[in-house]
Amino acid sequence: MSNTANEQLLRNFILENYLFTDDQSKLDNANSFLDTGILDSMGILELIYFLDEELSIKVETDEMVPANLDSINNLLGFIEKKTA
Amino acid sequence: MKKSDLLERFLDISQEYSSSCALQTSVEELSYGELKSQIASVGHFFKDIGVLPGDRVVLVVDNSINYIIAFYAIWKAGAVVVPLNPQARFHEVLKAVRQSKACCLLLDKVTPQLIEQSNKDNVSLVSLEKVSFDKDCTNNIYHWNDALKASSDDDWYKHDSDSLAQIIYTSGTTGDPKGVMLTHGNLACNVQDIVDYLQLTRLDSVLNVLPFHYSYGNSVLHTHLFVGAKIILAGSMAYPQEIVNTLRTSEASGFYGVPSTYSLLLSRSDWSDNPPALRYMTQAGGPMGASLTTELLQACHQSTLLFVMYGQTEASARLTWLPPERLTDKLGSVGIPVAQVELEIRDEKGNRLEHSNIGEVYARGPGIMQGYWDNPSATATTLGGGWLKTGDSGYFDHEGFLFLKGRNSEMIKVGAHRINPLELEEVINKLDFISESAVIGVDDEFLGQKLRVFIVGSESRENLFALKKHCNEFLPPHKIPREIMWRDRLPKTASGKIKRFEIK
């Protein structure tokens, strides 16, 4: 899947399930999910399930860090690394 | 040292161990001397803005050094701390401010809605975040930085042991949350008991992930300051491996968790290299399954002690503890009463039962609350003849170890949170397209339980969005149902009450 397609898929997942809107302007790709309160610890787990189910990306224990998961940009960078 | 006052004890400790580290985050450290000096300034500031002894000050602040400074500064001014979940929504904050008749509200971040309402209600606002305000509303709005810079004084309010120290809001079995009233005497007694059985000393340091606004986290805070130990403030449990890494690098001697904390740590982090300095761990906040307890024991180094505990906000925090050396042969038990607590098992008529008989757990002792704030009927139902009715059922074995057999109520436990389904249904049922709803707890691998709501109403994608948005506006994240299911009708009793346990 292309980077753009991944970005849209991830953005829609966050917008629909945590921001409860279709309005794309409500989510900035650089914003930290934790700092902005978009996701809590349960939300991070759901995100990990989502990555596994929708993108077949398995998040290993040592990969479960903010640098990989805490924003749309971080997620895109992480997916790129995993699929390289 | 007077046992009746944690503030006075803090003064002694901060003098004796002035240069010892009291608080540590990933970016800063504060010694006991520095902490005392900041509390002195903020306490002076509270008096300056008109906070009087006995006044209530609501604290809606995330776990941080500022939370701790504010908490003890409120006591320094002689006032009562009312901590709320920092994720509480506007309506919940407003309800607590009005219900507790607070004169001052301290927040991480103020919103225009709160500014307007506080102005009308004549409640002072203190914002930790630097924000600019409308000139018309600035009379009662203050910045935290100004509080920290206030001149300090040595006028530390002398509390009686029976004066009110704290009101902790807890989800009740009916209607709105109830404010548990704890005195300085209640807290000090329970803190002393916990310090004794955990054998806490100033050489200890805790890596804390528990929210301070709940009684479990509250007890971690006070017990450590009581002995001059170090509190290391950890980030969120969202990244368990980072917590384990910090346990190793910080050389913390203690760690406290609820069952979901340990479930997350064991499944989502590499625990194979046990943190070398970890002397003990504790578990409370709901029953932890025998298999998870065993798994945790196996994962830990033999020298790390695991304390299983049980308590309630209404009991300051702690009612029982299981001596670690009995953990294996008393697996599933929450242990024996703490030193100053007496427990009994009673039947429905209130008659005391002998060991092995299941009944309701009653508790008595100097840590038991004074009642619910401004709620005499709920107080009368829960307290009677000097005893607290816990609402939990269980039995004592022949050696006096308590085994719990569930709660006598419909409360749902999600992670560390106790949630009343009625409170959620009340919020959800306000939507026009919903005629009724029922919230239940379903088993969850990590959180113990998660929330599922059944909706009777008009089903559509738009309505689903509207429902989620509505929940997000009026409920903090932990109270938002994770699963939403639509139904044509809900099963009911002859009297029209929803049969919650029959819905799946």
Residue A5 burial (CB < 10 Å; 0-12/13-18/19+)?
A: exposed
Whether pLDDT at B3 is above 60: no
> CA-to-CA distance for B205 and B197, rounded, in angstroms?
16
Distance CA B197, CA A57 (A): 46
Residue A34's pLDDT is 87
Cβ <8 Å between B236 and A34 = yes
> Start-end ranges of CATH 3.30.300.30 in chain B?
413-502
Is residue B111 within 8 angstroms of chain A, CB to CB?
A: no
pLDDT at residue B409, as a whole number: 65
Q: How confident is the model at residue B415 (pLDDT cuts 50, 70, 90)?
A: confident
Band (B135; pLDDT cuts 50, 70, 90): low
Positive or negative CA dihedral for B185, B189, B195, B196?
A: positive
Interface touch A61/B242, C-beta < 8 Å: no
- Nearest residue in B to A68, CA atom: B239
Compute the radius of gyration of chain A from its Cα atoms: 12
Give the separation between CA B162 and CA B182, rounded to whole angstroms: 9
Q: What is the model's pLDDT at position B1? A: 40
* B285: alpha, beta or left? (left if phi > 0; alpha if psi -120 to 50): left
Q: Do B415 and A42 touch (CB under 8 A)?
A: yes
Please state, in angstroms and rounded to a whole number, the distance separating the CA atoms of residues B198 and B232: 18
pLDDT tens-place string over residues B243-253: 999 999 999 99
- Answer yes or no: is pLDDT of B136 > 60: no
Inter-chain residue contact B465 with A20, CB threshold 8 Å: yes
In this prediction, residues B40-68 reach a mean pLDDT of: 97
Is the CB of residue B102 less than 8 Å from the CB of residue B81?
A: no
Angle at B84 between CA B446 and CA B306, to 5 degrees: 40
CB-based contact B241 A34, cutoff 8 Å: no
Query: ipTM, 2 decimals?
Result: 0.75
A62 interaction partners in chain B (CB closer than 8 Å): 241, 270
**pLDDT tens by residue, A16-37:** 888 888 889 999 999 999 888 8
The whole-chain average pLDDT of chain A stands at 90
Residue range(s) in chain B whose domain bears CATH number 3.40.50.980: 31-159
Residues A56-77: tens digit of each pLDDT: 999 988 898 899 999 999 999 9
Considering only CB atoms, which chain A residues are within 8 Å of B270? 61-62
Please check whether residue B430 touches A, CB under 8 A: no
List strand residue ranges (DSSP E) for A1-84, in order.
Answer: none
Range(s) within chain B of domains with CATH label 3.40.50.12780: 180-407
d(CA B457, CA B56): 42
Q: What is the pLDDT of residue B247?
A: 93
Instruction: Compare B423 and B227 and report the one with higher pLDDT.
Output: B227
- Of residues B358 and B417, more confidence is placed in B358
Choose among B382, B376, B335: nearest CA to B363: B382
Chain A contact for B109, CB < 8 A? no
| End-to-end Cα separation, chain A, in angstroms | 12
Architecture of domain B413-502: 2-Layer Sandwich (3.30)
Tens digit of pLDDT for each residue in B452-498? 999 999 998 889 889 988 998 888 888 889 889 999 988 877 767 77
Q: In chain B, whose CA is at the least distance from the CA of A19?
A: B469
Measure CB to CB from residue A61 to each of B235, B269, B450 and give the nearest one. Answer: B269
Q: Which of B176-190, B286-300, B336-350, B378-392 has the lowest mean pLDDT?
A: B286-300
pLDDT of residue B272: 77
Is B236's CB within 8 Å of A43's CB? no
Q: pLDDT tens, B6-49?
A: 999 999 999 999 999 999 999 999 999 999 999 999 999 999 99
pLDDT at B445: 76
With an 8 Å Cβ cutoff, are A20 and B477 in contact?
A: no
Tell me the per-residue pLDDT of B161-200, one tens digit each, with 9 for 90 and over: 999 999 999 876 566 789 999 999 999 999 999 999 999 9
Q: In whole angstroms, give the CA distance from residue B117 to residue B216.
A: 31
**CATH number of B31-159, picked from 3.40.50.300, 3.40.50.980, 3.20.20.140, 3.90.550.10:** 3.40.50.980
Interface probe for A, chosen from B468, B478, B479, B484 (most Cβ of A below 10 Å), is: B468
The pLDDT assigned to B414 comes to 85
Taking 80 as the threshold, does the pLDDT of residue B96 lie above it?
yes
In the predicted model, what is the mean pLDDT of residues B132-160? 84
Tokens standing for B63?
């776990």
Distances (CA, A) of B66 to B39, B70, B154, B275: 10, 6, 20, 28
- Pairwise CB contact (< 8 Å): A21 & B465: yes
Q: Which of B238, B465, B472 sits opposite A44 (nearest CB)?
A: B238
Identify which of A20, A39, A43 has the shortest CB distance to residue B468: A20
- Decide if B446 and A45 are in contact by the 8 Å CB cutoff: yes
In this prediction, residue B462 carries a pLDDT of 86
pLDDT at B287: 82
Which residue has better confidence, B350 or B291? Answer: B350
Q: Domains, chain A, ranges and CATH? A: 3-83 (1.10.1200.10)
State the pLDDT at residue B502. Answer: 78
C-alpha closest to that of B69 among B12, B182, B185, B150 = B150
* Count of CB pairs separated by less than 8 Å, A with B: 52
Cβ B241–A41 below 8 Å, yes or no? no
Beta bridge partners of B307: B282
Q: Is A65 on the interface with B (CB under 8 A)?
A: yes
Q: If you measure CA to CA, which chain A residue comes closest to B466? A: A20
Q: To the nearest whole angstrom, how far is the Cα of B236 from the nearest Cα of chain A?
A: 7
Closest in A17, A37, A66 to B239, CB measured: A66
Chain A nearest C-alpha distance from B296 (Å):
17
- CATH architecture assigned to B180-407: 3-Layer(aba) Sandwich (3.40)
